[in-house]
Structure 1
């Protein structure tokens, strides 16, 4: 019981932390904070946070760095951090936290699409697992498109009785924010999922050669810090824009870097080791539920029919892909056991 409770609680904490990031980051950008500057600060704080873990936990086991590994980490920093987070936060600024979390759930489906040509995944049309992944991907993509192009009527939910004065002052009178663009926002969020999926492909290759997750993450965040600072200055030359005032800006960037990068990575790494990657992935829709509730309660966000139906399709598709992947992993484990027992029989001396 205790062995199952600890990973469960840790993953709930990770999702709660990410939900808080979406809310306060949205508020920070609604005050006029440039999302490029927000991402740059996040990488700086994340690098400082995760570097001690890399030094103390992996100083004796860290593999030797080669040019090939450094180049792969550089690619990971571009796709996994810089492009992913810039498009996500610009998309978040131009949409709502609920839409941003919903579209982030298409990542497993997009990863599956990219993994097939690289030989990291099999289609397997004739198996139930293959069909589940195919239909799950279709549902995810369909839900993302529906959420992006169709809004429909507002769902009749009673207005929250919670009045957060700061959020009311930062937001617009007709919803969560005055900075909502239902075309640009979802498009950038989908591009963020695509970039994140590319990172999964590169990271899978990197992990085979450089099995030091804290060190590679610290280097990745360090490289991304330089990239994001340069991009931030290209888009905003005014030094006053880099000021972390009002306080919500400093809170948002420090919180995002420490809680949602350094701490979240450590907790997820532990849970992956204890329960496997599939267990961690299953908690992704929980973030959507938490953010939807918090956005309704704190930001007075309105929920549209298109957002609701699209989110449901994405979650159904996500679980379809995860179920299919789980079945394939179980089958591979069974095949390995059969091969192992077969080898033992061959090694037995004959009479």
Structure 2
């Protein structure tokens, strides 16, 4: 979700700046997140190992450096509309990768898995409709007389102009999906979401700084900071669209997985469309309304499927030891018998207690 919101907030302010410098500056969240991570995660932060640090290094490279750099460069070669359209495939890519890494359970004959697949396809299709299909103009009281943006017309004409930019954005989206799945994997061994966020921002800043120094060598003017609206836009995007976004998606991801998180990504297009209509008096098109309806329907299917999977997982893992008995054999020796009750819920919500012999000592 943060991709579209981040684009709306910083593209207008930082489009003249070098993209490599802009990516480094977006990691301003490190300064804000790190103190809270040191204090709040003190008791739950596990010991740092080489394996965990390697994963965090890769996380800092995938999203803050590779994804954002390629996204901004690709948008420079193409258009913001085309970039937004390409990034709408994120839920689909994430679902395929999550199934491959066994982060997501998918059974072809299960109605819950079918709902997740159908919902993911629907959210992607709805987002594409909102981006590419205009249709008739819907006259609203606050947009009457508005002729729309000349920039939007120019964007539509040049939408498929650059193959180079398209490849950059595609690789960036793939990198973003890799980041989401790797974050879910890392949280299994490093379950301190706030500390993980601080590490990602810190290492992303360091690696992004190295890339910027190499790509912008000999251009000292790029690193100049002006205390203007561009600075405020970068600070806002760094703190909210990077730092806080990483933390919140980590908290949700640890409970529901990466597919559940990315399913909400197209929802940001609805938020942007509504706010643009009210605040900027942009015209509302029928295609956007139809796409928004499809997104909401798809999102509902994903949430429903994940909810059923979550309940099934908890029921399967719920095994409570309830009895410990002692029996005496023919020689007079005592033996302990442990019995476990496996709790299964039927569709009507009834509880069946099926006692099974678990251990016999």
Category of TM-score, reference length = shorter chain: 0.7 to 0.9
CA distance in 1, matches of 2:252, 2:101: 27
Give the helix-richer structure, 1 or 2. 1
Tell me the SS of whatever aligns to 2:137: coil
Where in structure 2 are the equivalents of 1:308-319 lying within 5 Å?
Answer: 309=290, 312-319=293-300
Matched, 1:155 2:132: no
CA deviation string 1:284-329 (max 9, x = no partner): 5553222112334555656666666555545543433332222211
Q: Any conservation in 2 of the 1:137–1:318 contact (CA below 8 Å)?
A: yes
Where in structure 2 are the equivalents of 1:81-160 lying within 5 Å?
Answer: 81-90=64-73, 94-96=78-80, 100=84, 106-143=89-126, 150-151=132-133, 153=135, 155-157=137-139
Matched, 1:321 2:302: yes
Contiguous gaps of at least 5 residues in structure 1 = 1-14, 163-171
Give the alignment partner of residue 202 of structure 1, picking from 162, 170, 182. Answer: 182
CA distance in 2, matches of 1:121, 1:326: 13
Match of 2:335 in 1: none
Q: Any conservation in 1 of the 2:59–2:182 contact (CA below 8 Å)?
A: yes
CA deviation string 1:171-201 (max 9, x = no partner): x960359777523677655544432221222
Matched, 1:182 2:182: no
Match of 1:260 in 2: 241
Match of 1:343 in 2: 340
Where in structure 2 are the equivalents of 1:39-58 lying within 5 Å?
Answer: 39-43=23-27, 45-58=28-41
CA distance in 2, matches of 1:69, 1:177: 48
Offset, 1:72 = 0.7
Tell me the SS of whatever aligns to 2:151: coil
Give the alignment partner of residue 242 of structure 1, picking from 190, 205, 223. Answer: 223
TM-score, structure 1 as length reference = 0.72
Contiguous gaps of at least 5 residues in structure 2 = 323-338, 342-354
* Larger-Rg structure: 2
Distance change (3 Å), C-alpha of 1:176 and 1:263: same
Offset, 1:151 = 4.4
Match of 2:197 in 1: 217
Offset, 1:84 = 2.7
Give the strand-richer structure, 1 or 2. 2
Q: Say which is worse superposed, 292-301 or 70-79, in terms of deviation.
A: 292-301
TM-score, structure 2 as length reference = 0.70
